[in-house]
Amino acid sequence: MPISADPSRRADFSLKIDADKPQESRPTFECRFLTSRQRAEQRRLCKAAATEKDDVEANKLLNQAIGIGVVGWRNFDNPFSIEAIGDALTDLERWELAWDYPSAVELAEFDLKKSPSQPGSVPGPSAVPVPADATTSPQS
């Protein structure tokens, strides 16, 4: 099963300001693994929010971008919802979350796929190495 299709698979994301806090008490966002299409839509929404002149509309777009992948949180005082993020974070922290969580999720996916304990992982290169002197153009 693709990792993005498994709702039980999650990756954690924490803001830079919380990086030095102990892991057991660090505010952490729980993120789902994104399909390529979801990642593209998430990027589009962030870019649209960044250029939107109307603050209300920009916030809606930013919430949509966050909502594509952020599905929960730990070590926060309030129950999770996308709307509650606006009550828990500053504007800059919301932007950091929106822009940075997808990259953290991608890194977690790389780590999972290179781990030998993961079922379905294939050790070794996924492509056959080509000698450096090989040519790609046909010979006449």
* 135 inside domain: no
Q: What is the C-alpha separation between 65 and 68, in angstroms, rounded?
A: 6
The DSSP call for residue 5 is: G
At 122, give phi and psi (nearest 5°): -110, 120
What global pTM score does this model have? 0.77
* 81 inside domain: yes
* 130 inside domain: no
* 79 inside domain: yes
Task: List the beta bridge partners of residue 29.
Answer: 13, 73
> Pick the residue with more confidence: 45 or 107?
45
* 18 inside domain: no
Q: What is the pLDDT of residues 109-129, one digit of tens each?
A: 888 888 765 444 334 333 434
* 21 inside domain: no
Which amino acid belongs to residue 28? T
Domain count, the chain: 1
List of residues 6+ apart from 100 with CB closer than 8 A: 13
* 15 inside domain: no
Structural domain harbouring 61: 33-109
* 119 inside domain: no
Which amino acid belongs to residue 86? G
